[in-house]
Amino acid sequence: MKHSDLTVPETISDDEEVARIIFSPSMIIDGQVAPSAFFMDNLKGGPESYVSVWRSFYLQPTPGNIKFGPRKKDDTLAGYASISVSCCHSISYEDYKTQIKPHPSPQNPAHAGIHINKGKAAIKGQCYDPGYLMLAMMIAKNCSLVTF
């Protein structure tokens, strides 16, 4: 079955889990995922506005269905960090809050994003604020890790 054949409801339920694909093994040590796996970056096309995740209830990441181009010889895909939507939404620090929104694409109808707000302002791209670091640390701490 191709990803594009999936039927995925637009509304994201609190019962769902979302998975952050971890491409680089350097982001994992002793079963812990790096808080930096939940950082956003300034890309060539503009600053990222959310942390990309999969709605794993509808599409479980596997080495077979993740588009992965080895970056060097013997490069491997690491796995994914999974967190429940309700848990992720419960994580906040001071005026930092998270919200998971659907971002379906033709290639991946189960694509979604963890959006991070500070008060009413959406965080986009690189953020060095310690409050964001605290939030990323809390998300990482509440994830369970699946390695391939």
Residues that bind other proteins (CB under 8 A): 21, 23-24, 26-27, 29-30, 32, 34-37, 39-44, 48, 52, 68, 71-72, 93, 126, 128-131, 133-134, 136-138, 140-141
Count of all residues that appear for the chain in the document: 148
Residue 7 or 44 having the CB closest to other proteins: 44
Residue 13 or 107 having the CB closest to other proteins: 107
For residue 24, the minimal CB distance to other proteins (Å) is 5
For residue 64, the minimal CB distance to other proteins (Å) is 16
For residue 9, the minimal CB distance to other proteins (Å) is 26
Residue 10 or 67 having the CB closest to other proteins: 67
For residue 53, the minimal CB distance to other proteins (Å) is 11
